[in-house]
Amino acid sequence: MRYWDTSAVLPLVIDEPETARAKRLADEDPAIAAWWATRTECLSALARLRRDEKITSEDEARTKRLLLQLTGQWTEIAPGQRLRERAERLLSVHPLQAADAFQLAAALLWTRGRTAGRGFVSFDDRLRRAAAREGFDVLPENGPA
């Protein structure tokens, strides 16, 4: 099982430049751990794409169905006081925005702080650097295209 942030989940359900690499990683290990708000972040991105007329309403509906299937299978890290405290610590040591700090905090809770050998899948450069500094094996290895 690997931890997947929103930038990695979205290409699994909609065609993006990173789709092929995300799907290869999912084929290697289909078990996903994700933060509680990842689904909402993905839905926000889809709605934005529709509003910007980059996808149709039909595309959005189809993609939402795929996302809901995926979220029904993953391990979800719930919000709580421990998550907030970890995210706040991460903000003081990494140049992250709040949502990214919550992503990384969720991954740290998922691993119980034992990050060595644990995969963190992301296409966000800043989050990838922070996850690597926290000891995760950041995937894909060569980063975003």
**Predicted pLDDT at 141:** 87
- How many CB atoms are located within 10 Å of the residue 98 CB? 11
The tokens for 3 are: 């931890």
Residues of the chain with pLDDT under 50: none
For residues 38 and 96, what is the distance between their CA atoms, to the nearest angstrom?
16
Q: What angle do helix axes 57-71 and 38-51 make, rounded to 10 degrees?
A: 170
For residues 141 and 80, what is the distance between their CA atoms, to the nearest angstrom?
31
Domain boundaries, the chain: 2-139
For residues 39 and 67, what is the distance between their CA atoms, to the nearest angstrom?
7
What digits encode the pLDDT tens for the residues 3-21? 999 999 999 999 999 999 9
For residues 8 and 21, what is the distance between their CA atoms, to the nearest angstrom?
9
Is the CATH code 3.40.50.1010 the one for domain 2-139? yes
For residues 143 and 145, what is the distance between their CA atoms, to the nearest angstrom?
7
- Helix H or strand E encompassing 72: none
